[in-house]
Amino acid sequence: MDESSLGREAAEAMRHADFQDVMPLPSLRGLPLALTAVRALELWSDLATGVKRPAKLKPSERIDVMDECLDVVVPEPDHPAGFRFTGMSVAQLRAALKAAVEYSSEHEQFENVFHSAQALAMRHAARQRVGRRVELACFFQHSLWIPEQASSQTIRSLPLSLDALSEAADPERRKFRRNQLLVEVLETRMLAMRNFPTRGRRLPIGRRGSSDPWLTAWMNWRLIPQMHKPDSDGYHEYQLALPSLETSYFSDHFPVRNLFAHLRFSEFRDPHGRRVLLLEEVQSDWMRDLRRQRSNHPLHARRIAKGRHGVTVPASVPELPIEKYWLDVAMKALIDVASNRKIDIIAWVPGKIQTELNVGLPLSVTQRLYDCQVPDRLAEHLGWENVRSIHVDYPTYRRDVVIRHRDEGWVLFRPDLDAVVSAFVPDWETILKLHRIQARPTVERLPAFQVFANNDEGAQRLPDIDDFDPLPE
């Protein structure tokens, strides 16, 4: 096939390419293989932030940087997703085939496929999946860990054919071992330096430790502290995902695949100098959508994030394997954070205030979650003997005027009037100033646990991005 015909074929394939497609590859000594871009966004974030190391290929040997974001999978028609992850990227497969002399015939065969029009289309689909998100934020991976309830799950390794190839290419390699229900803890951040090539072989550049928190629309529902009160040490949003689970769920709020819970929390010091961690929200979009699907209620639109536009896909919501203990995992992550930051008190926003911040959310739902389940799970994992129930005074504002996200900016909203009461403001700091003028201050007594014991033994420390040692892909 000449280059002109390949170009026409590739252009046609790109028009129909989807990052969730599965493209067949040649078999590797009897093992059927394929590739998909379903994890392209997450793998790109790992690469751009330094969590994932690029394959050992020279720049001249690379076809496209997107090969780092294409997963090599084993087709399994009976599996709900139609495949199983191998833990190897296309770039890593190409590097291994090139390094293993005894695989020279397979290397030539695979290279022909990787230069085909269909492979070019898959790289295009991966690039569309990454899309504009790279210009905005990456997902900093804090930790990969297996929750206690999933510790009995099988630890999977590379299929034998790929393992033999990896051994031949690098006898001193680290063995791939991963649990399907392994949890990834992520924080969305804006990168100070990044390099996203539109095509070609250059790798992303991420500068560790120089990023600022990325402000998202979820800050609409914060319990905003009064100015300079309390002494705030920061606001954070964590997402919990299942990156090694083959079936895919997409929420209507986040572009991350298989995100099963998110946490919003802030830190401050009380008048006695004690460090307080305030849980502002914990939620599972996956569980919400499962309940709606089981009740035959309409589902929220999915933000699949193809290129610059979210795309609604009429797909059913897959089962959440950790459905029964998603909140346990979320509270364990929060305790990890508290342990890492030497927190003295863990507080949370009660159900009544949650309903005031989230207009339309039933009080019965928020009370069950924040007044019963959250404290029960926290106390259970902290140890009832290690906590004492107290209250924390939190200077904030009445919810008669709240901040709402509109388009690419913010407005003030009166829930009682169901009306916007300010001009459109494009930045957060300005809308905060307007809010402080119009909203009435108050002091809320928030429920809390004072933590007496050092709970490092029961928590798995979330390493900083600089000391994270990634599992081998």
Q: What is the pLDDT of residues 43-97, one digit of tens each?
A: 888 887 777 788 888 888 889 989 999 999 999 989 889 999 998 999 999 999 9
pLDDT in tens, 183-194: 888 876 665 545
On the question of pLDDT at 454 being above 60, the answer is no
H-type alpha helices, 115-255: 117-130, 133-136, 160-169
Q: Which residue has the higher pLDDT, 230 or 412?
A: 412
Q: Provide the 3-class DSSP secondary structure of residue 330.
A: helix
The reply to whether omega before 77 is within 30° of 0 (cis) is no
Residue 302 is which amino acid? R
Spatial separation of the C-alpha atoms in residues 312 and 282, rounded to whole Å: 25
Question: For 367-377, how does the pLDDT look when each residue is reduced to its tens digit (9 = 90+)?
Answer: 999 999 999 99
Quick check: 467 pLDDT over 50?
no
- Answer with the residue of higher pLDDT: 246 or 48: 246
| Cis, peptide link before residue 395, omega less than 30° from 0 | no
Tell me which H or E stretch contains 441. Answer: strand 441-451
Q: Is it the case that residue 110 has pLDDT exceeding 90?
A: yes
Distance (Å, whole) CA 466 – CA 463: 8
Question: In this predicted structure, what is the pLDDT of residue 189?
Answer: 65
Q: Are 33 and 73 in contact (CB under 8 A)?
A: yes
Examine the pLDDT at 471 and tell me if it is beyond 60.
no
Poorest-pLDDT segment among 36-40, 131-135, 252-256, 402-406: 131-135
Q: Name which residue leads in pLDDT, 32 or 360.
A: 32
Cα separation, 71 vs 32, in Å, equals 14
* Token pair of 83 as six digits: 């495949």
Q: For 199-203, 252-256, 415-419, 451-455, which range has the lowest pLDDT when averaged over its residues? A: 199-203
Give the type of residue at 451. Answer: V
**Token code pair at residue 393:** 């005074």
Distances (CA, A) of 455 to 146, 307, 335, 424, 459: 18, 44, 8, 46, 7
**Domain edges within the chain:** 3-133, 215-400+440-462, 401-439
What's the pLDDT band for 179 if we cut at 50, 70, 90?
Answer: confident
CB burial of residue 141 (10 Å; 0-12, 13-18, 19+): buried
Q: Are 298 and 289 in contact (CB under 8 A)?
A: no
pLDDT tens by residue, 390-408: 999 999 999 888 888 887 7
pLDDT band at 288 (very low <50, low <70, confident <90, very high): very high
What percentage of the chain carries pLDDT values higher than 90? 41
Q: What are 431-434's contacts with CB under 8 Å, separation 24+? A: 431/403, 432/224, 432/403
| Average pLDDT score, the chain | 81
Say what angle helices 374-382 and 326-340 make with each other, to 10 degrees. Answer: 60
Residues 262-285: pLDDT tens digits?
A: 999 999 988 888 999 999 999 999
Residue whose token pair is 């004690």: 274
Longest dimension (CA), the chain: 75
Task: Give the whole-angstrom CA distance, residue 51 versus residue 33.
Answer: 26
As its CATH architecture, domain 215-400+440-462 has: 3-Layer(aba) Sandwich (3.40)
Q: What is the mean pLDDT of residues 126-151?
A: 68
228: which DSSP letter?
Answer: T
In whole angstroms, what is the distance from residue 30 CA to residue 22 CA? 19
Pairing of strands 345-348, 275-283: parallel
